[in-house]
């Protein structure tokens, strides 16, 4: 059908195009946030319905394919970007292999209509090239280059009072950076602000800004296609758009536009606040069609602009309260102003509560930094005005407002369904573009808790399935577990309880883990980080000096990764959004150290770099502790948000034939859990509303100040933890990896589970594209007890764990203290030893070992295997990644210099009849190396273990013999007494000897010829379920071991139940506690009666 994208990516894509957040307030639907930024770009130009869906997907596909190409370097399916050597995404690689998603690009239109032979199948690689253009999307160098970077003032985007606007005569249009904005969050109407507060951020920002400038210049060469101001996306192609995706993810230092105007008029602070308070509490005028539309800058020129100068600030820090009003025409103005007021209402509430504390901190850290601000602000203002009047800002507006080719207002209205459609799955498809989500509506009583009326609306979840269960698996690193599973409303209710402490629901083990991680983060090397405000923004510091911009593509990875590796300290510090707000402010001066050392190591070092650059910003360690009492003051329930619904919308373009599957998995594993989690946070601390408010402000502010879209994106991601979380979810989910995000201070993880193994060999037509894919009949998800979320016993302790990466790297990535039991466990895990042994060696309890093992499996860092042993028989798997043999050969040679080359090894293994691996090992002292190599090969999916499966074959002779015995007995019994007893067994014979049908008759009366005929009809059969053998089958089985000595007979009956072709006999000795040798003896004795098959 139309619009099916030729997916060279096959099953690796999740067909996720973007994530949006929309909310409704009494003023109507509002569009809050979308990610990725470029989702809108090409569409507004192309306009056609069909391309709406396919165009963004193409450039996304480009991105992903780039990652995939990167990944080609990696020998390990799960290697993460943490290692500089191995760039690729953690597990972009690891997508469930879907047999139903053809890898090849079919002639899509040709096949849907009968027999046109017009199409070609040779275009498979068509969409792999999008991301590779050298053109840079970084175009807006003008924003900074002509400005004076010293003109950084703290601007305050705060309450806009209509009154203000009349008083502002000037038409200057300040360019307002994010600095001012986030500061405004903490600056309430009260004015006890000390001079110099804004200084240190500026100082630091200037640093960032210089960096950014330098970088921009380097970049600019690539961006010539675009006019300096135009944010319009040229129709020239996807390449630039693909670039933009990358860009949007990189925290561009341009967060600091660095143009701050001089204030032009003053307004007593009290005026603003009184005007403000008028509206507080009162419900705002119900303007039904209020839009979040961002007024084109050109119209603003004629509009009024409000600036509040706080009297206290005049001495040195010039705080310009600069609130844009979207006033295009008279009627618009009327709409816009009340809306602003409602936005500001709750905002000022909580900013109040934090102000004092916040300033306290800032004062402490920045007393030395009373930098002279804005020496030539006037000139700068003029420049700004000019730029803002530039007509190209119209273009900018246009691209702002189009997402997937639709106006944002329109989309917001579309995606905010009526109440009756809330709290249930929302799924709306336009052409090929599907919008999916779980809109959350507040309850009639204004609370967000899951109400009794909602209980019936249980999440639709697939029963069973290994996949579903893993969602319920606990993430050990999170300090509080959001449980999204069906284990009863009681638990839910309890969980969502207001007063629950953060780790109230964690198990003792988890708490101990948490304490380990906390401990580790309190280690000296982490101190700086902790001090430094310790909010998420810290992590951003890990990645910004991106010299030359050539690494920008990797910034997605870096960013994602850096945040994944965020220290738990930040988690605790940013407990709720109130706190976060202050953190955001404290962190206003995000610093940007280098990104070449991303990952865990950088999370330690990065702050140090930052610190050396801007030592004055280092806040005291007390910062973390002090906000807490304040938080208590602004109790969650106190403030009533005007938001009555929020909706995180996932935009997807699933292929028509996979539509239901793709939509359902996205909903079940990501959309619904995420929405539930947000509802909880909203309920707990008004989180979603605060974040939404923040994002809306940032955007409006950016429009007013003419900030570029890229900058706004970077700003939003920096300032809003929710925006960042959504972006991370998008990046992770669209690359099939695990999204680990911090939402309101609590770590959550989301993933669409992938299955890296299969029992069924894919058809020869569908080449395996998933690195590390392996074949096995063992479904460990069942053994792991994931089915019901219960840990039923110790289901896999006799098995070993195969780490999918180096132990130390995993320890790093999981943010585990190298001295913790978890780390000890990871180090002592060996593919040759069962978990029982590992637990014993590392002095862990079995249940702890199991928990750690589950954790590693959940995070795709390990898989369960049968302990490798030289006795094991391995073959080169038909799914072996031979296409990457060359790359792997080099790595193998490096890792195992004393061994033959990789091709030689594989030849050795495969050229004979399958035989124990030990036969390959030339000498005893090389055994260890060979076993290591074996684990290496298993990890990459080169080898599959052949295991032995056995059926009991009942031969004609056995049956005849049993039948003879029966008849003999019958005759004897009949002669004794006429009895019907035997009819039972007779019936069984009838119903169970397959393909045997003989007329019902009395045994005793059967003639000899009948008996002979019956005997001839007997056939060899297989006993399919020996554990449920009926009387006759048991007789047959008895006959098989008749005449053997007692121990053999006993052993036979012990293991006979496994002779069903389903259980690997390699496992049986461990299961039954018998000797391998005895089992071999038995099998040799009964070998006439068994069929042995060897497969994986």
Site residues (CB under 8 A) for another protein, limited to 774-813: 775, 777
Indicate which single residue of 224, 421, 625, 1042 sits in contact with another protein (rule: CB under 8 A): 421
Q: Which token pair is 812?
A: 């790093």
The single-letter DSSP state of residue 1061 is T
Which part of the chain contacts another protein (CB under 8 A), choosing from 67-75, 718-726, 816-824, 949-957?
Answer: 949-957
Site residues (CB under 8 A) for another protein, limited to 731-760: 759-760
Indicate which single residue of 33, 35, 400, 426 sits in contact with another protein (rule: CB under 8 A): 426
Helix/strand/coil for 466: helix
Report if residue 1019 touches another protein, rule: CB under 8 A.
Answer: yes
Site size for another protein (CB under 8 A): 85
Binding mask 1043-1062 for another protein (x = CB under 8 A): ------------------xx
Indicate which single residue of 145, 907, 987, 1075 sits in contact with another protein (rule: CB under 8 A): 907
Indicate which single residue of 72, 301, 427, 798 sits in contact with another protein (rule: CB under 8 A): 427
Q: For residues 461 and 690, which CB has a smaller minimum distance to another protein in the complex?
A: 461
Q: For residues 935 and 946, which CB has a smaller minimum distance to another protein in the complex?
A: 946
Report if residue 418 touches another protein, rule: CB under 8 A.
Answer: yes
Report if residue 425 touches another protein, rule: CB under 8 A.
Answer: yes
Report if residue 994 touches another protein, rule: CB under 8 A.
Answer: yes
Terminal Cα-to-Cα distance of the chain (whole angstroms): 38
Spell out the residues 6+ positions from residue 1074 whose beta carbon is closer than 8 angstroms to its own: 1051, 1054, 1055, 1068
Indicate which single residue of 274, 315, 901, 919 sits in contact with another protein (rule: CB under 8 A): 901
Q: For residues 454 and 497, which CB has a smaller minimum distance to another protein in the complex?
A: 454
Which part of the chain contacts another protein (CB under 8 A), choosing from 552-560, 654-662, 779-787, 1008-1016?
Answer: 654-662
Q: Crossing angle for the helix pair 956-976 and 1008-1017, nearest 10 degrees?
A: 150
Q: For residues 423 and 848, which CB has a smaller minimum distance to another protein in the complex?
A: 423
Site residues (CB under 8 A) for another protein, limited to 952-991: 953
Q: Which of 480, 691, 499, 675 is nearest to 578 (CA)?
A: 691
Which part of the chain contacts another protein (CB under 8 A), choosing from 69-77, 364-372, 411-419, 623-631?
Answer: 411-419
Indicate which single residue of 218, 265, 370, 910 sits in contact with another protein (rule: CB under 8 A): 910
Indicate which single residue of 170, 277, 429, 1044 sits in contact with another protein (rule: CB under 8 A): 429
Give least dist CB 999 to another protein, A: 22
Binding mask 29-68 for another protein (x = CB under 8 A): --------------------x-------------------
Indicate which single residue of 288, 898, 911, 923 sits in contact with another protein (rule: CB under 8 A): 911
Give least dist CB 97 to another protein, A: 14
Spell out the residues 6+ positions from residue 396 whose beta carbon is closer than 8 angstroms to its own: 229, 230, 231, 232, 297, 706, 708, 709
What are the distances in angstroms from CA 355 to CA 184, 254, 363, 579, 582? 10, 27, 12, 11, 8
Distance CA 270, CA 273 (A): 5
Indicate which single residue of 220, 528, 906, 962 sits in contact with another protein (rule: CB under 8 A): 906
Site residues (CB under 8 A) for another protein, limited to 159-178: none
Report if residue 1091 touches another protein, rule: CB under 8 A.
Answer: yes
Which part of the chain contacts another protein (CB under 8 A), choosing from 189-197, 347-355, 764-772, 996-1004?
Answer: 764-772
Site residues (CB under 8 A) for another protein, limited to 914-943: 914
Give least dist CB 437 to another protein, A: 11
Q: Which of 328, 320, 261, 339 is nearest to 301 (CA)?
A: 328
Q: Which token pair is 395?
A: 């273009």
Which part of the chain contacts another protein (CB under 8 A), choosing from 11-19, 602-610, 1016-1024, 1038-1046?
Answer: 1016-1024
Distance CA 784, CA 795 (A): 6
Cα torsion angle, 1033, 1039, 1041, 1047, sign:
positive
Number of Cβ atoms within 10 Å of the Cβ of 37: 25
Give least dist CB 100 to another protein, A: 7
Q: Which of 823, 790, 792 is nearest to 806 (CA)?
A: 823
Going by their DSSP bridges, the two strands 426-430 and 433-437 should be labelled as antiparallel
Indicate which single residue of 656, 932, 965, 1038 sits in contact with another protein (rule: CB under 8 A): 656
Q: Is 216 left (phi over 0), alpha (psi -120 to 50) or beta?
A: alpha
Distance CA 558, CA 542 (A): 8
Q: For residues 810 and 943, which CB has a smaller minimum distance to another protein in the complex?
A: 943
Indicate which single residue of 819, 886, 998, 1087 sits in contact with another protein (rule: CB under 8 A): 886
Give least dist CB 85 to another protein, A: 22
* Burial status of residue 166 (CB atoms within 10 A of its CB: 0-12, 13-18, 19 or more): exposed
Q: Which of 949, 981, 959, 969 is nearest to 1095 (CA)?
A: 949
Q: Which of 319, 320, 321, 317 is nearest to 372 (CA)?
A: 317
Site residues (CB under 8 A) for another protein, limited to 484-523: none
Give least dist CB 951 to another protein, A: 6
- Main-chain dihedrals φ then ψ at residue 646, nearest 5 degrees: -135, 155
Binding mask 365-404 for another protein (x = CB under 8 A): ----------------------------------------
Report if residue 878 touches another protein, rule: CB under 8 A.
Answer: yes
Residues 861-896 as b or e (16 or more Cβ within 10 Å = b) = bbbbbbbbbeebbbbbbebbbeebeeebbebbeeeb
Which part of the chain contacts another protein (CB under 8 A), choosing from 57-65, 612-620, 835-843, 908-916?
Answer: 908-916
Q: In the chain, count of helices (H) and strands (E)?
A: 45, 21
Give least dist CB 325 to another protein, A: 27
Q: Which token pair is 371?
A: 């930098």
Report if residue 410 touches another protein, rule: CB under 8 A.
Answer: yes
Half-sphere exposure of 704 (CA within 13 A, CB side): 34
Cα torsion angle, 144, 148, 149, 152, sign:
negative
Which part of the chain contacts another protein (CB under 8 A), choosing from 112-120, 165-173, 819-827, 918-926?
Answer: 112-120
Binding mask 118-157 for another protein (x = CB under 8 A): -xxx--x---------------------------------
Cα torsion angle, 232, 237, 240, 244, sign:
positive
- Main-chain dihedrals φ then ψ at residue 540, nearest 5 degrees: -60, -30
Per the CB < 8 A criterion, the answer to whether 250 and 243 are in contact is no
Distance CA 564, CA 558 (A): 10
Q: For residues 434 and 617, which CB has a smaller minimum distance to another protein in the complex?
A: 434
Indicate which single residue of 46, 69, 72, 107 sits in contact with another protein (rule: CB under 8 A): 107
Report if residue 104 touches another protein, rule: CB under 8 A.
Answer: yes
Binding mask 1059-1078 for another protein (x = CB under 8 A): --xx----------------
Report if residue 218 touches another protein, rule: CB under 8 A.
Answer: no
Per the CB < 8 A criterion, the answer to whether 52 and 434 are in contact is no
Which part of the chain contacts another protein (CB under 8 A), choosing from 252-260, 317-325, 476-484, 1017-1025?
Answer: 1017-1025
Indicate which single residue of 445, 490, 913, 978 sits in contact with another protein (rule: CB under 8 A): 913
Distance CA 215, CA 178 (A): 19
Give least dist CB 907 to another protein, A: 5
Report if residue 996 touches another protein, rule: CB under 8 A.
Answer: no
Distance CA 65, CA 127 (A): 8
């Amino acid at each position: 059908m139309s619009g099916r994208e030729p997916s060279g990516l096959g099953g690796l894509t999740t067909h996720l195009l973007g994530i949006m957040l929309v909310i409704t307030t009494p003023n109507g639907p509002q569009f809050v946030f979308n990610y990725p930024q470029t989702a809108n770009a090409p569409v507004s130009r192309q306009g056609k319905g069909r391309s709406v869906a396919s165009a963004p997907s193409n450039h996304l596909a480009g991105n992903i394919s780039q990652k995939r190409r990167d990944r080609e370097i990696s020998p390990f399916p799960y290697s993460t970007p943490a290692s500089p050597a191995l760039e690729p995404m953690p597990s972009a690689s690891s997508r469930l292999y879907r047999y139903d998603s053809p890898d090849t690009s079919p002639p899509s239109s040709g096949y849907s209509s009968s027999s046109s032979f017009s199409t070609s199948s040779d275009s498979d690689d068509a969409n792999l090239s999008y991301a590779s253009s050298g053109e840079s999307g970084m175009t807006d160098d003008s924003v900074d280059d002509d400005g004076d970077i010293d003109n950084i003032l703290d601007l305050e985007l705060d309450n806009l009072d209509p009154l203000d606007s009349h008083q502002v005569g000037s038409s200057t249009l300040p360019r307002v950076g994010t600095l001012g904005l986030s500061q405004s969050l903490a600056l309430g109407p009260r004015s006890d602000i000390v001079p110099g507060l804004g200084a240190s951020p500026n100082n630091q920002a200037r640093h960032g800004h210089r960096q950014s400038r330098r970088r921009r210049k380097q970049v600019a060469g690539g961006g010539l296609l675009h006019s300096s101001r135009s944010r319009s996306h040229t129709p020239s192609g996807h390449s630039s758009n693909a670039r933009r995706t990358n860009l949007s993810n990189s925290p561009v230092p341009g967060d600091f536009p660095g143009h701050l105007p001089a204030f032009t008029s003053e307004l007593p602070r009290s005026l603003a606040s009184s005007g403000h308070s008028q509206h507080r509490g009162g419900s705002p005028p119900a303007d039904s069609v209020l839009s979040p539309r961002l007024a084109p800058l050109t119209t603003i020129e004629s509009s009024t602009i409000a600036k509040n100068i706080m009297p206290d600030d005049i001495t040195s820090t010039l705080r310009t309260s600069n609130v844009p009003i979207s006033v295009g025409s008279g009627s618009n103005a009327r709409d816009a102003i009340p809306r602003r007021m409602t936005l500001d209402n709750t905002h000022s509430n909580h900013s109040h509560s934090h102000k004092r504390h916040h300033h306290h901190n800032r004062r402490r850290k920045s007393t030395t930094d009373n930098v002279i601000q804005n020496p030539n602000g006037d000139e700068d203002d003029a420049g700004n005005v000019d730029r803002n009047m530039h007509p190209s800002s119209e273009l900018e507006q246009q691209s702002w407002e189009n997402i997937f080719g639709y106006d944002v207002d329109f989309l917001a209205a579309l995606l905010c369904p009526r109440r009756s459609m809330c709290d249930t799955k929302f799924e709306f498809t336009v052409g090929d573009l599907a919008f999916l989500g779980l809109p959350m509506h507040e309850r009639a009583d204004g609370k967000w808790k899951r109400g009794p009326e909602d209980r019936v609306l249980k999440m639709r979840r697939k029963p069973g399935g290994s996949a579903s269960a893993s969602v319920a698996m606990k993430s050990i690193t999170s300090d509080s577990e959001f449980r999204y599973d069906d284990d009863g409303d009681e638990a839910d209710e309890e969980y969502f309880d207001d007063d629950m402490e953060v780790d109230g629901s964690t198990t003792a083990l988890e708490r101990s883990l948490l304490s380990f991680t906390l401990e580790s983060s309190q280690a000296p090397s982490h101190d700086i980080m902790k001090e430094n405000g310790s909010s998420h923004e810290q992590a951003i510091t890990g990645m910004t000096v991106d010299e030359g911009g050539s690494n920008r593509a990797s910034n997605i990875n870096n960013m994602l990764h850096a945040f994944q590796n965020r220290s738990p300290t930040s988690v605790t510090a940013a407990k709720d959004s109130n706190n976060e707000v202050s953190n955001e402010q404290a962190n206003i001066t995000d610093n940007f150290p280098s990104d070449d050392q991303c990952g865990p190591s950088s999370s330690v070092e990065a702050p140090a770099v930052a610190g050396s650059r801007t030592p004055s910003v280092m806040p005291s360690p007390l910062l973390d502790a002090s906000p807490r009492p304040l938080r208590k003051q602004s109790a969650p329930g106190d403030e009533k948000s005007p938001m009555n619904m929020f909706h995180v919308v996932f935009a997807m373009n699933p292929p028509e034939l996979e539509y239901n599957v793709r939509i359902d998995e996205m909903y079940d594993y990501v959309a619904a859990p995420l929405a539930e989690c947000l509802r909880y946070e909203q309920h707990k601390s008004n989180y979603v509303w605060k974040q939404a408010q923040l994002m809306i402000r940032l955007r409006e502010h950016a429009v007013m100040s003419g900030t570029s879209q890229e900058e706004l994106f970077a700003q939003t991601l920096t300032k809003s933890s929710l925006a960042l979380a959504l972006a991370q979810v998008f990046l992770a989910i669209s690359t099939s990896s695990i999204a680990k995000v911090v939402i309101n201070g609590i770590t959550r993880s989301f993933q669409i589970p992938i299955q890296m193994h299969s029992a069924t060999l894919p058809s020869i037509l569908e080449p395996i594209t998933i690195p590390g894919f392996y074949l096995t009949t063992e479904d460990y998800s069942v053994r792991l007890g994931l089915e019901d979320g219960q840990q039923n016993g110790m289901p896999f302790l006799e098995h070993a764990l195969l780490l999918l990466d180096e132990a130390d790297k995993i320890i790093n990535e999981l943010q585990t203290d190298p001295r913790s039991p978890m780390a000890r466990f990871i180090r002592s895990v060996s593919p040759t030893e069962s978990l029982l042994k590992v637990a014993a060696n590392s002095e862990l309890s079995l249940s702890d070992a199991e928990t750690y093992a589950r954790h590693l499996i959940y995070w795709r860092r390990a898989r369960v295997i049968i302990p490798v042993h030289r006795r094991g028989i391995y073959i080169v798997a038909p799914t072996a990644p031979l296409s990457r043999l060359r790359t792997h050969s080099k790595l193998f040679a490096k890792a195992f210099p004393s061994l033959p080359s990789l091709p030689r090894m594989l030849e050795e293994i495969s050229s004979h009849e399958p035989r124990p691996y030990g036969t390959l090992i030339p000498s005893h002292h090389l055994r260890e190396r060979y076993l290591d190599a074996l684990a290496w090969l298993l990890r990459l999916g080169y080898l599959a273990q052949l295991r032995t499966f056995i059926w009991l074959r009942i031969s004609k002779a056995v049956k005849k013999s049993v039948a003879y015995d029966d008849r003999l007995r019958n005759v004897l019994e009949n002669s004794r007494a006429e009895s019907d007893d035997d009819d039972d067994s007779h019936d069984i014979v009838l119903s169970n000897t397959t393909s045997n049908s003989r007329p019902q008759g009395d045994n005793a009366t059967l003639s000899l010829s009948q008996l002979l005929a019956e005997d001839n009809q007997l056939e060899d059969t297989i006993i399919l379920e020996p554990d449920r053998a009926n009387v006759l089958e048991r007789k047959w089985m008895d006959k098989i071991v008749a005449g053997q000595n007692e121990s053999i007979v006993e052993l036979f009956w012990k293991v006979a139940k496994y002779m069903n072709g389903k259980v690997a006999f390699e496992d049986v000795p461990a299961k039954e506690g018998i000797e391998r040798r005895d089992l071999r003896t038995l099998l040799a004795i009964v070998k006439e009666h068994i069929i042995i098959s060897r497969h994986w």
